[in-house]
Structure 1
Amino acid sequence: MDTAKAVYTAGRVEDYLRQIGRVVVIEGKEVAVFRTSQDEFYALENRNPHPKGGPLAEGIVSGHYLYDPLYDWKIDLRTGEVQAPDKGQAVVFPVYVNGDEIAIGI
């Protein structure tokens, strides 16, 4: 179920390199946006769910998983769930691709 209260333009498809995160700021929140090698787009709050925090945008994308840059946690880009044996939950935002425009729901 989509619970976004507002949708914000976040650039064009060609602005995002495959498997590389990019930070956009929406309503004062840093959002890490990822484009997979299959041209799927995902957005997570750019905050690691690890107790010590840290950025996610610099992580490595493989399939629909993100390997965070500080703790090597494996995070599902679709759900934000940290994979076992680690535990945690990243905040996920819906991404909308309309033609060549990218929008993110907050």
Structure 2
Amino acid sequence: MATVSVGRFVPLPGQTVYLTDRASPRFAGHPVRLLITAETTPSEFDDRRGHSARNAAWLSLTGYELDPRGRRLNLREHVSVYAAGIILVGEPGVPRHADRA
């Protein structure tokens, strides 16, 4: 059985996440499954404020969108998402800062 974590970890390359309307309004009605291919970084706004990915409210993800069978569809770069709305399936990533989870 897969472990499911919501908004408590920073995804690592090789992990799969689900992005729904909780992660960004643009995914309402069309959730996306994303295979992370690069290090997760804080959003541009949080980066300018000096936040790391572990304590940023918004994260920037890069990875391949997957179809229902797990095949790569297209590369999505710098997808800005609300950290608390990321659904991670599999082993946890990096734990987020305790009071920002």
Check whether TM > 0.5: no
Q: Quick one: higher RCO (CA 8 Å, sep 6+), 1 or 2?
A: 2
TM-score normalized by structure 1?
0.33
TM-score under structure 2 length normalisation: 0.34
